[in-house]
Amino acid sequence: MTSQAPQSSTRSISFLQAFLRSEALGGYVLMLAAAAALIIANSPLAPHYFDVLGTKFGFQVGTVMLKESVLHWVNDGLMAVFFLLVGLEIKREVLDGQLRGVSRIVLPGIAALGGMVMPALIYVLINLGTPDTLRGWAIPAATDIAFALGILALLGSRVPTSLKIFLTALAILDDLGAIVIIALFYTSELNLFALAMAGALLACLVCLNRAGVLRLTPYLLIGVVLWYFVLKSGVHATLAGVALALTIPLRPQTQGHGGAHSPLHALEHVLHKPVALLIVPVFGFANAGVSFAGMGLSSLAQPVPLGVALGLFLGKQLGVFGFAWLAIKTGMASLPRHASFTQLYGVALLCGIGFTMSLFIGALAFTDPAAVDATKIGVLTGSLLSAVVGFLLLRTRSGAPAPDAKG
């Protein structure tokens, strides 16, 4: 048992390093996709861009016909795969990773809580006078891990590895909070039959797990049917991905020189690159396009964009850094190794990059195209401010390369 511990630790570190690299690369691709969407939406190609997103297509299986717009398929179909990966990451980190054990979860957990509460509070305060827009309170509450880690990767060894791990853990907990928020507050009128069928399928998945079934095929086949019934139930379809992920076994499948392997690790490995380099950028390209024609500073001063922008830029830094500072000063947690409070504040700024999840929640919160566009303006403004200021602060105040960082 003791001889295996160093190998297990080495594997965890290697996996984390590979994860950080892949997420950083995904962040760069996502930036390019978002920039392309903005350029096209403000060019002569804009009508074609919006027409394609609105084009409906589908397929029929037996008596079941699914026909939705391209944008709907991206947000409800492709993003279900994204949420499947998020669920796998959450399960692995909690049971066998950086979030295993109370001591590891305290600082990122408290910081994540502050990073959800303060942005929502700022949004609500700004939108109190317009009750119709209060539904968007959760839009600035999420952090985009791909974008944030992409910015950190640009800084290289100036930022200690411990802070990168802290940001990763915080963003994963942040994603978990966003999943709970979507399930509780952004569920439409329920279809009880479809919900019951989804529950029965979820029970089947749990039984497969309990029976020790390690082949991924039955889980994925049932998962597709689960996605359909969740889609029809009124609960957002992407949550089917999370539910499926939590039933995928995390236990030894084969033994060799590489140590324990499990279906969860295998599926996570397969999904990482397609999600980071294809699915999330496609989502960004489909959702970031907004025309700036006729807009001025007064457009940004409206309750929705102002609440989102300030929620991300001010709320995130106040919540993440403020709650983390209190936790450290009261002895509940320790400052990440080789990190300073200035660097921690810089990372808190980067947490204000809420691009992917913020746009996703915005699409759930509002159906009015004008409100959706206002959300996009707020998300882009707040995320850009957070990225630029966070990068400059970490760039100018980090000093020499951190002792434990790798160049």
- Rg of the chain, C-alpha, whole Å: 21
- More confident: 258 or 21: 21
pLDDT digits (tens, 9 = 90+) for 101-158: 777 789 999 999 999 999 999 999 999 988 889 999 999 988 887 788 778 877 877 7
For residue 387, the Cα-to-chain-centroid distance in whole angstroms is 16
Residue 352 pLDDT:
94
Q: Say which residues have a Cβ less than 8 Å from residue 122's Cβ, sequence separation at least 6.
A: 140, 307, 310, 311, 314, 315
Distances (CA, A) of 282 to 29, 82, 120: 10, 11, 27
3-state secondary structure 112-175: HHHHHHHHHHHHHHHHCCCHHHHHHCCHHHCCCHHHHHHHHHHHHHHCCHHHHHHHHHHHHHHH
- Evaluate if pTM is beyond 0.85: no
Instruction: Please enumerate, as own/partner, the contacts of 67-71 that have beta carbons within 8 Å and a separation of 24 or more.
Output: 70/286, 71/286, 71/287
Contact assessment for residue 219 and residue 248, using Cβ atoms and an 8 Å cutoff: yes
Say whether 9 sits in a helix, a strand or coil: helix
pLDDT > 70: percent of the chain: 88
Look-up of token digits 């919006």 = 50
Residue 4 pLDDT:
46
- Alpha carbons 190 and 174: distance in angstroms, whole number: 26
Six-digit token string for 254: 């084969």
pLDDT digits (tens, 9 = 90+) for 337-393: 888 999 999 999 999 998 888 998 998 899 898 899 999 999 999 999 999 999 999
- Alpha carbons 310 and 394: distance in angstroms, whole number: 21
For residue 223, the Cα-to-chain-centroid distance in whole angstroms is 21
Q: Of the given ranges (17-21, 159-163, 180-184, 374-378), which has the lowest mean pLDDT?
A: 17-21
Burial class (CB in 10 A: 0-12, 13-18, 19+), 183: middle
- Alpha carbons 273 and 296: distance in angstroms, whole number: 38
As a whole number, mean pLDDT of residues 276-289 equals: 90
- Alpha carbons 107 and 292: distance in angstroms, whole number: 40
- Alpha carbons 386 and 201: distance in angstroms, whole number: 42
For residue 12, the Cα-to-chain-centroid distance in whole angstroms is 21
pLDDT digits (tens, 9 = 90+) for 192-204: 999 999 999 999 9
Q: Say which residues have a Cβ less than 8 Å from residue 20's Cβ, sequence separation at least 6.
A: 149, 153, 164, 168
pLDDT digits (tens, 9 = 90+) for 205-259: 999 999 999 999 999 999 999 999 998 888 888 889 999 999 999 864 444 444 3
Q: Of the given ranges (5-14, 36-45, 115-124), which has the lowest mean pLDDT?
A: 5-14
